[in-house]
Chain A
Amino acid sequence: MSYNPNEDSDDEEKNSYQQYEIKDGIIFLIEVTPDLLAPRKGLSNKSKLYEILTSINELMSDLIITQRNTGVGIYLYNCELSPTLKSMKSAPGFNRLFRLSFLNLTNMKHLNDLLSDDKAGVRPLDYYFKYSKPSESENLPVIFNKILDELINRKEFNRKKVIWLTTNDEPYTQKSTKEALWRIINDYYAHDFFIRPIFLSKDSSEFDMTRFRDIFLNTNYLNMNKNETTKDGQDPSFHKDSSIFRKTVVDDEIKKSIFRAREVRRIQFACDIILSDGGKVGGNLGCSVKGYTICSHERYKRDLLLYTKGETLKRVFTDSNLINADTNEVIVDKEKEKAVKDEDNVKEIESQNESTTCKGHLLAGGEIVFLKDEIVQFMTNYAFDHTPESTISEKVDEEEENEEIEDDEGMRTEDVTFTLPPYLKLLGFRSLDRFNASYNSQAPMFVTPDLSDGQQTSSTKGGYQSSFTTFSSLYQSCVKLKKYGVLFGCIRKNAKPSLWALYPTRVESSSRNIKGEYDFPEGFLLIKLAFLDDIRCLPNHFIDDKANRFTNDEDNLCADEEIVADLKDLFRDFYYESYNPDDFPNPSLNYFYKIIKHELLQIELSEEDKKLVNNDQTAKKLDYLKEYIHSDENRLNRIKKINYRLQDIDERAPKRALEDDKASKPPAKKAATAPELDEGAILVAWKNDEWHQFTVPQLRGFQKKYKDQIKSATKKQDLIDNIKAFLDSRER
């Protein structure tokens, strides 16, 4: 292991999980029926199809921001061919709007245009989508086979699913069709493709699910493949109690159902929670868990570089080599390394490289304390000892293993006396009302039991049996007793340890409480707690302001009771019952995407479209709030009253304090700013290689002028180097 200066262990820890990007391919398969095309009252006289397509349209605009590597395709059957559709050439009436492919502007615009034409009354949707009666020969197997081909051919997606929307509860009548469908659906599962039917409710009669159950519930499949399934530890078939077969989707739920397609579980880590310590049990009471992302800040990534000087845009790649700063010799050359790898000498070369570079610390005076890998490993050993009182004191140092035992069923188990990272170790429990979240440092993760008991986790050597049961009882006890757990540990192999709060969901400060919406799933939040080192100090002007302090038993003169009372009355009218992030799209992010989209499509944006309030839900909220205050005399007067009282306070305040205040303000000291540099001055300096006369702000000013071409830097010398590099490149 050689040390890479650009990788702190904190960053390194994330990489292993991020190397793998989820690329979802979602096919929407829609059966066109007269019912689907009929206008509906509940949908403001639009059809179900309109609702479905609008939802897909919105889903796509959402996904382009959050998961642009998702693919979407829309296919329809029992639908007449029309100019906007393309035939699938396999069964009559089986057409596509667009094929399954990565989200892109062409497809998004295509769909969006159709919908806005309908909305604007230019051309209604049923101009393009007409019902065509299915043939007697029952084409469903053909259609599903074709879709299967579509999925298999799309190698760029690593998870694929079909969402089958229908209002028809009689998809087939013949037994042969049933058998064919049943077999095809098994094929989907064999490929790990997932089909999710969405049954849209009918007005006329109950939706009869028998036929769907027959083709989806493959009990025979289970029996036939008994051995297979147990070995693989998973079987992708439906459960007979699945709620899908219990309910249909009514009109106003269509959108919600379609939006569930984007729900993806993003795994962050998998490890064991060790609950016990010492005594006879040591570390043997525990459970294996997995952690998932709940929230993470979405931001646009300028993730590639483009060469703009050629006829076409070309992607710019980078190669980086490590060189010896004294001799300028290349230490690690990627090119060579690659070449050697081809010759199958990988190991030898790698070990050579490892031994020549290592981490070190520069001491005052120039001596270097370099740390060989074994030393670094010792210093960053984060193993946890569950039996510190036992006599084996240097367990890990001597690389001793926990004792391995073969149990009656021939399974290999062991006695847990210590654990190597990753792990989470329970320290104890505290009352929920003692949790102070003030020193937050990152988004909490969601922790759920590992249903495979750690048997499929690569970072651990095994896991605890009965993890689900243990975890479930831990959750229930914590909810009942209003407790949260305090843990210590590293959630990834190379991560630094932290203290964590294991805070149950669906309790105070841990529920969504949004009417008509799902709460968080049952489980725990894993909230990172701060160490003393991570806490920053307040500025001294605040710490030294003795007048602004009070004790509990003294009169509190720092706040004004009258104002406090008025504020409390005022604030009462501005409460949220719950916070729903869905109400607040990220204004900056969405605006960026909007501009880029218009730029790509070469469409002008109106001034109105660029206004802050029209792009920022939070700014809009401010206007509502202001309006609401002004709509009620009492509220407005209360605010005025507070402001008058404040004026009064300022007037009564001892003059001296105010003057002091003014005096203490540093005089507007703007050091005589050196004049801005023009190109001439820079060129002269470049010719003579004389840069010392310039100040950093001057250089930075010049760099800013050519932001795109000159990299900024924090050190003066770097800045000069960058400017020189720029000029050198210009000369050529």
Chain B
Amino acid sequence: MSTSKELTFFVVDLSGPMVSRHSGEETDLDIGLKYYYDHVANVLLKNRKIDRMGVILVHGTGNGSEDELEVLFDDEQFTYETFKRYSEKMRAANNNYESKQNEEGNSNIIDATLHGLDQFKVKIHLKYLRNLVVITNGEDPLYLEGEESLAEKISDYTDFINTYDIKVTVVGVGFDKKIKITEQKQENVKFWNQLMTKWNGRVLDAEALNRNVQYSSALKKVAPRALYTGSMTFGLGSEALSGEKNSNINEVGGLTLDVQMFPATRPEKLASGHTYDLSEKSSSSVKRITKHYYKKYKEQDDQTEIKDEESGDDADYEKVEVSVGDYVPGFKYSKHDIIAVNQDLAEIAQLYSLAGISIIGFIKQVDFPYAYFTDESSYVIPSKSASPSKMILFNSVVKSLLDLKSIALARVVTGDGKEVQLCSLTPQLVQIEGKYSYSFVAIRIALKEDQKIGRFPYLTEKTNSNTQIEDNDLDDLDEGKSANQDDSRKREYPSEDVIELMDSFVKSKDLDKNDKGTSHKHILANQKVALRETEFVNFGTTIKEMNTDAKLLPSNPANQKYNTNLKKIVIKSLEKESLWDFLNEDKFVEKYLVTSNKNKASMEEKSTNLFNLNNIVSGNTVNTKDWLSEINKDSLLTSENLKDSLKIKYLLKKDTSKRRQQAGTAFERFFRADGESAEEKKPSGGFGTFFDINDLLGD
């Protein structure tokens, strides 16, 4: 079982060089702390009672005496108030350069780091994900108290770190700098790198990390929960599923695999938050209360019939409140046949089948249309307790289907008595640490009642003229639309020249360009699929080069935008007395969220709240900077030509109010008084604002 409880300590270097303002704007501490703030904002927003966080401040430089280290840790939930308190101290140090600039000596950051590790010892018997983050710029000479004993000490800690899987990270300000770097710093960077190699930790450059944090989000592992655990069979009849007695399941005439099914896709939503009432000078949460009632009509006209919600709603009635338990779900078989579905009936009306995955046949992958995939996909893998032979059978089935370029179709019931589904099982290779494992991906497919497609115009002249071959395939011409004068122009088939231009447009926007990788149709390789545990502390990916598949799998830029701004608000609020007043400030967006571009001349630094080709695929990816806009450059000329030869202009709608007046039939228009609009005449006219009414009514 993996745990998600988190215990994190930050070791923050507050020595003279960290707080000196050499560049004028930001101190090294400011830069180094950005990552800390981001992490804390995350912790606050996550608001989990089980997480713990502490800070070890390393004041100035000195002789390693204990009071140089200040441990801030409360063994309770880290709150906004705690955050403010800790930050206060750091800010004080940051503004305290005067008193520190004359200090000289060695840095006791190593000692502080070890001290930080000691902090874990108190709760070492509990299950935690343990992180230690050291923030320093490595300018001061390291205080290495008796070098030999230190080396010994470090190796003691090495065992400790390995045993308890503590992740140590050094966030180094200016560690990537190539010029103007002191010899001392070079030596320190080297030291940290060596130490982290020993400790299996990482050294990251603060600025690179900050950029990464802005564009990337934590890779979250939601504990996988099996949707189904049991057998997957081929060649066994249905009697084993009917739940009748004496059914013999152990037949030689069939194959039985032990499998488990896990969710593969579940769309992540925006942080949902809650609704609050801000009426007084405080915010309190809002509850929704639902009352149930039936309508008691004053005129007892027709007692037996259940009134339709559409009709008779204006009639005089009084609401009679009903308590829980006095009503049951109902089912409308048709408009006129309504039945109460109590628990008994619901159970009887359920087609009973035992759980199981049963293959009903195979189909070539190219013969099965994607259009019939209807739901979120799931992984199907050998079950945890599968015997070696079952493992081999599973792998062999997947392999043979991969070789045959086919998918299996299977009847799937995930629990006894649950709905019967049909799923496609697509063979896939999962990439784990450069090697492959066999698996299936299951996706629910459409059944008879699920098909909803209508008829649509032909897009090619050839098909259009061959309608007779296609039987009486009616397009919307017959359904009585768009046969007017404009139509001939609007349904003009493209000329050879235009198609040729379009061909070169399509070719010029090839995303697979420069991607030498082979077809990835059967491979699942991404940062999530084989993730062992959540990377709360997101260090960006270690992948150096990404193929097109991976580049097109960024984190969601909308979630990113929302979360980044939310964290920004939390962090900015630190400098303010009251969160309430801060959030109530006028022009909040302009003052605190819009990033000014005035001082940044170069394109790449320009920030914008709009999406564009460069920023939509940048989250958690590598080498996507300018990737899409570079590809786009090759298509500029063709785009221009296409636009001209197709005579495309963006046409604004005519005034809609005029159009509405025209609505209705000729008959209705005739009787409508001047100046009266269709809306007033027809109660249903309001739809027009929501949909394309012609589409719904016309065909």
Contact = CB atoms under 8 A, between A and B. Distances in A.
Contacts of A297: 374-375, 444, 446, 450
Interface string A366-386: 111111101100111111111
A413 B447 contact: no
Interface stretch (A9-17, A204-212, A668-676): A9-17
Interface in A88-121: 102-106
A568 B632 contact: no
A636 B266 CA distance: 41
A122 interface: no
A393 B371 contact: no
B336 A365 contact: no
Contacts of B559: 531, 533
Contacts of B451: 294-295, 581-582
A438 B510 contact: no
A112 to B, nearest CB: 14
B653 A709 contact: no
Contacts of A339: none
B286 A323 contact: yes
Given A356-B279, A364-B43, A471 B459 contact: yes
Nearest to A562: B396
Contacts of A232: 662
Contact of A439 (B309, B343, B377, B438): B377
Contacts of B619: 532
Nearest to A106: B336
B294 to A, nearest CB: 4
Given A158-B697, A267-B691, A441-B377, A581 B327 contact: no
A379 B362 contact: no
Contacts of A284: 643, 648-650
B453 A465 contact: no
A687 interface: no
4 A-B pairs with least C-beta separation: A365-B79, A709-B325, A265-B454, A102-B335
A306 B371 contact: no
Contact of A586 (B450, B479, B512): B450
A551 B431 CA distance: 10
Given A275-B505, A364-B79, A534-B268, A293 B452 contact: yes
A127 interface: no
14 contacts: A263-B453, A284-B650, A308-B340, A497-B557, A522-B460, A523-B456, A532-B620, A549-B432, A591-B350, A600-B337, A619-B411, A622-B241, A649-B392, A730-B325
Contact of A322 (B260, B286, B549, B562): B286
A612 B351 contact: yes
A235 B353 contact: no
Interface in A457-472: 457-458, 460-472
A460 B277 CA distance: 33
A516 to B, nearest CB: 9
A369 B80 CA distance: 11
Interface string A649-676: 1100100011001000100000000000
B609 A322 contact: no
Interface stretch (A34-42, A44-52, A185-193, A340-348): A185-193
A464 to B, nearest CB: 5
Contacts of A307: 294, 322, 326-327
Nearest to A661: B385
A571 B404 contact: yes
Given A478-B506, A497-B558, A104 B420 contact: no
Contacts of A365: 44, 77, 79-82
A358 B276 contact: yes
B650 A414 contact: yes
A536 interface: yes
A385 B651 contact: no
Interface string B309-330: 1100000000100111111111
A449 B345 CA distance: 47
Nearest to B570: A369
Contact of A300 (B326, B331, B527): B331
Interface string A264-297: 1111001000011111110011110010111111
Contacts of A539: 224, 226, 260, 262, 381, 384
B242 A611 contact: yes
B688 interface: yes
B371 A436 contact: no
Contacts of A709: 324-325
A176 interface: no
Interface in B499-520: 499, 501-503, 505-507, 509-512, 519-520
Given A4-B275, A306-B330, A279 B640 contact: yes
B276 A360 contact: yes
Interface in A540-571: 540-545, 548-552, 556, 558-560, 563-564, 567-568, 571
A643 B666 contact: no
B554 A532 contact: yes
A563 B449 contact: no
Contacts of B573: 369
Interface residues of A, number: 326
Contacts of A411: 649, 651-652
Interface stretch (A132-140, A394-402, A691-699): A394-402
A646 interface: yes
Interface in B399-424: 399-401, 403-404, 406, 409, 411, 419-420, 422
Contact of B266 (A363, A536, A563): A536
Given A8-B272, A363-B44, A593-B333, A725 B323 contact: yes
A502 B456 CA distance: 17
Contact of A16 (B242, B340, B477, B690): B690
B493 A469 contact: yes
Nearest to A616: B420
B643 A438 contact: no
A627 B236 CA distance: 9
Interface stretch (A74-82, A165-173, A310-318): A310-318
B588 to A, nearest CB: 6
B374 A443 contact: yes
A616 B611 CA distance: 49
Given A581-B451, A584-B422, A661-B385, A451 B330 contact: no
B227 to A, nearest CB: 11
Contacts of B565: 375, 378-379
Interface stretch (B118-126, B193-201, B468-476): B468-476
B404 to A, nearest CB: 6
Contacts of A386: 612
B673 interface: no
Contacts of A380: 270, 558, 561-562
Contacts of B253: 626, 629-630, 636, 639-640
Interface stretch (B56-64, B95-103, B158-166, B480-488): B480-488
B381 to A, nearest CB: 5
B652 A413 contact: yes
A285 B651 contact: no
A718 B548 CA distance: 48
Given A104-B337, A511-B369, 8 more contacts: A233-B484, A295-B446, A297-B444, A486-B552, A537-B224, A643-B252, A661-B385, A707-B343
A20 B695 CA distance: 12
A480 B460 CA distance: 12
A389 B369 contact: no
Given A19-B690, A726-B324, A68 B334 contact: yes
Contacts of A513: 367
Interface string B667-699: 100000000000000001001111111111111
Contact of A104 (B80, B335, B374, B438): B335
A427 B238 CA distance: 48
Given A190-B665, A534-B556, A647-B389, A325 B481 contact: no
B279 A324 contact: yes
Interface stretch (B27-35, B107-115, B129-137, B528-536): B528-536
A3 B276 CA distance: 9
